Structure 1
Amino acid sequence: MAAMKVYSVDLAQETIAALRSQVEGAVVTPQDPDYDTARSAWNLSVTQYPAVVVTAQNAEDVVAAVRFARAHGLEIAVQSTGHGVTLPADSCMLIVTSRMNGVVIDAEAQIAHVQGGAQWHHVLGPAQEAGLAPLLGSSPDVGVVGYTLGGGMGWLARKYGMATDSVVYFDVVTADGELIRASANEHSDLFWALRGGGGSFGVITSLGFRLYAETTIYGGNLFYPIEMASAVITRFRDWIQSAPEALTSAVTIMNFPPLPVVPEPLRGKSAILVRGCYAGPVEEGEALIQQWIDWQAPFINTFHAMPVTEIAAISNDPRDPMPAFASGGWMTGISDETVETLLRYAVPTDHSYPLVMTEIRHAGGAIARPGADSAAFSHRDAPLVLSLVGASPTPEVKAALSAYVIEMKQALGSAMHSGVYMNFLEGHESRQRTRDAYSSDTYRRLIAVKAKYDPENVFCHGFDIPASAN
């Protein structure tokens, strides 16, 4: 129970009452019966005990929460869904933005104006009604802001780029409790930093980003027996060399749990998948996938023309909260030795499967086109990105997964790029490797922006960007 936790901050009831009088949303403390619900994250492996939780209703609530935190010496953590918690919100102010989910679509300008707590499904439906698509990720249930601040590589990325590259403005509450707009013309240094630099600079209350004229895609998965994994990965390596930018694809090793929710042909088994999304004429997408079918017929083929509203069916990520572990990194290529190493760790011969998913996604295309100085997001030259996901029901399992992944990456050697993609990391690794997510010049520039907008490092629960190089 929460009452067993020792808190380093004890706020008087009259102090909390004063905050409640300024906030339209909810203010929750450890003494309140709904505290455990208020402090929870989507990732159930995260345990956090904030001194106070403010579930904001609007930007004014965020301003009041930040000013209260500053007045009482509290650090500030921000959460929309809690999919990607970097540092647990212990003994601090936790601002939850999930109620701030309003969306306005400007169809003529092809811009979405979105509040800071919206999830992608809040945007996707209204955008599609206007014949437009946002650059969402693999799951519509992920928060727009956190995904976008870290980069945002979804199934339309090779055609249109990272989600962060389509942002036209952020409305931000800074560490001094002021609401400002960051864009190419206003606070442009902060605008640069937020596009890929994460949420360590302030609280995003709203943002605007470009939409694209896509309503129908050709996407799905080809399932091959795990015994064919080496041949499939090798063929994927060669296939993507001539892939058009309209195709974003991945090769994925899945270890399916023996649960009733898993279809019988996959239950308790492993498979190698080729998955992707073609954002162009359906017949062109069909021709690309037919190359695989002609090579070897899969035992399951889910590729079909679908509305963009069904794009989540490609990855089929879990929708319900669960204890999850995630890691990854940019890759330089896939040699024959790399294939052998991947299989050794992704499909152990003793039939224990630490990792549920090992995925290599094809990057490049529009991801690589922006100049190195256009935004804080770095390592655009990497051709591939590795995503590793496991279930972590206990701290012991999570620690074992972390050690296993470290060993796996070391074994992959030169196939791993020196840089990381922050959206595929979580927890301790995310904090430890923040510097590796950026070029040295970009990281120095991020520190300078941090020093300007948050010199006391109030927003210290996101990416590890200090306010000083010392």
Structure 2
Amino acid sequence: MSQTTEMDPTLSALAASLGGRLIRPGDADWDTVRAPWNRAVEQDPAAVAIPATVDGLRQIVAAARAGRFEIAVQPNGHGASGDVRGCILVRTSAFDEVTVNADERYARIGAGVKWGAVLPRLTGTGLIALAGTNPDVTVAGYLLSGGHSWFSRWKGLAAHSIRAIEFVEAHGRSRRLDSAHGSAEGDAELLWAMRGAAGMLGIVTALEIDLYPAPALFGGKILFPIEAAGAVLDAVAAIMATAPDELTMFAGLINMPDVEMVPEPMRGHSFATVDVVFVGDADTAGTLLAPLLSAVPVIANLMQPFDIGHLGEVAAEPSDPVGSLDWNAAIRGLGDDGFAPLIEAFREATPAGLTMVQLRPLGGAIADPAPDATGIVGHLESKYLVFAGAILLDPSRRIDPAAVFGPIDRALTGMTERRMVPTLLSPGQDLSAALPPESLARLGKVKFAHDPDSLFRSNRRLPG
């Protein structure tokens, strides 16, 4: 499908009737509403729709069909790829329901709700949800593209925690898929696809997700001298080789920006970091982490018991929109030189603008193939996920992605695999960088069966 003109009469009619807002080029707040969270991504949709109700979504679908527009959904702009030219871009911020049923261990969450509004509601229940690192991300956007959680080694990728999905399909009908109750023929296949690729199959309005008992949580961030990077990474690898699934550690190398938002003692300096989340008590965590804490001097140890409402403080990622470039890979292991090539690549890329490199050890439930039957985001046999990023705090500075990420890419030559959680793909990558060919072929059949005219355009598209 393709748009016709900027002042398309279909859009004019939709603007007059929509229960909500339709913003178009030339409107006063156009640049604000069309912008994604990652300010380095430029988006040029035909219009931005902010519906207030499900009926409004049906109107959008009808208008898109009549005017031959595609629809792209971004609850608040995380994960944007920039590939929305000519689309009606839908923001689902008005769908803000949050209901927690602690007795039956599930939550019902609207498509516009961020993790930061959900996790505090779980405080005191003894339950957790499979949230990620940043509380500013919407629950729907995160779960429906896979979801690599702090708790995924323990309970699996977050998409598999979805019990039910409510959405508007390509013909404007409201649907509910519920794994706990009987469904029509083909619904199981559609639910399989939506657990990881929902953006190309409909406009989700609400989810119901499983919650899990976790009576105690412990963790936080640890900072080490950058000179100790090798010892830190070696210690993390050794611990995670035998760690219980309840323990997650993300190890990183970071160049702190020389800006006011960074505390003075850290500003403009480089560190090795380890972020820790453990489902259990402080004493058990202390025993597990002793080899790391005794390996090298610690600059700062922020670990402590915490409740689920403070999960976002562990990684302490930016919550305000910012420009960034990123790179990712899954690797099956390391070469004979261990982490040394990666550390050297970090040093080489720093002058070019590299901000950070992070390793996320996998294993545990992430490697279990059992959930593959119920969700397109299958198990990962890789040993680590590796991320590199450059935060663009100075708009006047030009950064060459090849100079920033080339050293990292070369350091991992021969170790990478074409598997990833779609949530973590970079702008411009399609689903072939995350999913195996057989899953892509199966997804293509589901897409053709439920959206044969390709009304919905996902941030992560099928190849070709």
> What's the CA shift string for 1:279-328, capped at 9, x where partnerless?
11222112222332233331211111111111112111001110122221
Query: What SS does structure 1 have at the residue aligned with 2:412?
Result: helix
- Matching of residues 147-226 of structure 1 within 5 Å: 147-184=142-179, 185-186=182-183, 187-214=187-214, 216-226=216-226
Distance 1:168 1:408, change over 3 A: same
- State whether structure 2 residue 422 is matched by structure 1 residue 422: yes
Distance 1:397 1:403, change over 3 A: farther
- Matching of residues 71-86 of structure 1 within 5 Å: 71-86=66-81
Distance 1:12 1:443, change over 3 A: closer
Query: What SS does structure 2 have at the residue aligned with 1:330?
Result: strand
User: What is the CA distance between 1:374 and its match in structure 2?
Assistant: 2.9
Distance (Å, rounded) in 1 between the aligned partners of 2:398 and 2:164:
37
Give the letter aligned to residue 447 of structure 1: G
Query: What SS does structure 1 have at the residue aligned with 2:205?
Result: strand
> What's the CA shift string for 1:336-356, capped at 9, x where partnerless?
43512211222228x515321
Higher alpha-carbon deviation: 370-379 or 169-178: 370-379
Preserved contact between residue 338 and residue 412 of structure 1 (Cα < 8 Å): no
* Partner in structure 1 of residue 273 of structure 2: 273
Preserved contact between residue 144 and residue 196 of structure 2 (Cα < 8 Å): yes
User: What is the CA distance between 1:261 and its match in structure 2?
Assistant: 2.1
Preserved contact between residue 255 and residue 269 of structure 2 (Cα < 8 Å): yes
* Partner in structure 1 of residue 109 of structure 2: 114
- Matching of residues 244-283 of structure 1 within 5 Å: 244-283=244-283
- State whether structure 2 residue 28 is matched by structure 1 residue 29: no
Preserved contact between residue 215 and residue 307 of structure 1 (Cα < 8 Å): no
User: What is the CA distance between 1:394 and its match in structure 2?
Assistant: 8.2
* Partner in structure 2 of residue 347 of structure 1: 347
* Partner in structure 1 of residue 432 of structure 2: 435
* Partner in structure 2 of residue 9 of structure 1: 5
Higher alpha-carbon deviation: 336-345 or 111-120: 336-345
User: What is the CA distance between 1:164 and its match in structure 2?
Assistant: 0.4
Give the letter aligned to residue 56 of structure 2: D
Give the letter aligned to residue 183 of structure 1: D
Distance (Å, rounded) in 2 between the aligned partners of 1:464 and 1:202:
14
* Partner in structure 2 of residue 364 of structure 1: 363
* Partner in structure 2 of residue 331 of structure 1: 331
Preserved contact between residue 104 and residue 113 of structure 1 (Cα < 8 Å): yes
User: What is the CA distance between 1:272 and its match in structure 2?
Assistant: 0.8
Q: 2:41 aligns with which of 27, 38, 46?
A: 46
* Partner in structure 2 of residue 391 of structure 1: 391
- State whether structure 2 residue 67 is matched by structure 1 residue 68: no
Distance (Å, rounded) in 1 between the aligned partners of 2:407 and 2:126:
46
Distance 1:352 1:52, change over 3 A: same
Distance (Å, rounded) in 2 between the aligned partners of 1:87 and 1:459:
15
* Partner in structure 2 of residue 4 of structure 1: none
User: What is the CA distance between 1:76 and its match in structure 2?
Assistant: 1.0
Query: What SS does structure 2 have at the residue aligned with 1:352?
Result: helix
Distance (Å, rounded) in 1 between the aligned partners of 2:147 and 2:163:
15
Distance (Å, rounded) in 2 between the aligned partners of 1:418 and 1:89:
25
The gaps in structure 1 that reach 5 residues or longer are: 1-6
Equivalenced residues, count: 456
Higher alpha-carbon deviation: 293-302 or 96-105: 293-302
Distance 1:231 1:397, change over 3 A: same
Give the letter aligned to residue 354 of structure 1: G
Distance (Å, rounded) in 2 between the aligned partners of 1:254 and 1:391:
11
Preserved contact between residue 168 and residue 175 of structure 2 (Cα < 8 Å): yes
User: What is the CA distance between 1:396 and its match in structure 2?
Assistant: 9.6
Give the letter aligned to residue 164 of structure 1: A
Give the letter aligned to residue 113 of structure 2: A
* Partner in structure 2 of residue 94 of structure 1: 89
Preserved contact between residue 379 and residue 439 of structure 1 (Cα < 8 Å): no
User: What is the CA distance between 1:377 and its match in structure 2?
Assistant: 0.6
- State whether structure 2 residue 460 is matched by structure 1 residue 463: yes
The percentage of counterpart residues that share the same residue type is 28
Preserved contact between residue 216 and residue 305 of structure 1 (Cα < 8 Å): yes
Distance 1:309 1:156, change over 3 A: same
Give the letter aligned to residue 150 of structure 1: S
User: What is the CA distance between 1:118 and its match in structure 2?
Assistant: 0.9
Distance (Å, rounded) in 2 between the aligned partners of 1:444 and 1:298:
49
Preserved contact between residue 352 and residue 399 of structure 2 (Cα < 8 Å): no
Preserved contact between residue 231 and residue 296 of structure 2 (Cα < 8 Å): no
Distance 1:21 1:188, change over 3 A: farther
* Partner in structure 1 of residue 445 of structure 2: 448
Distance 1:170 1:396, change over 3 A: farther
Distance (Å, rounded) in 1 between the aligned partners of 2:441 and 2:226:
45
Distance (Å, rounded) in 2 between the aligned partners of 1:403 and 1:177:
47
Distance 1:120 1:250, change over 3 A: same
What's the Cα RMSD here?
2.3
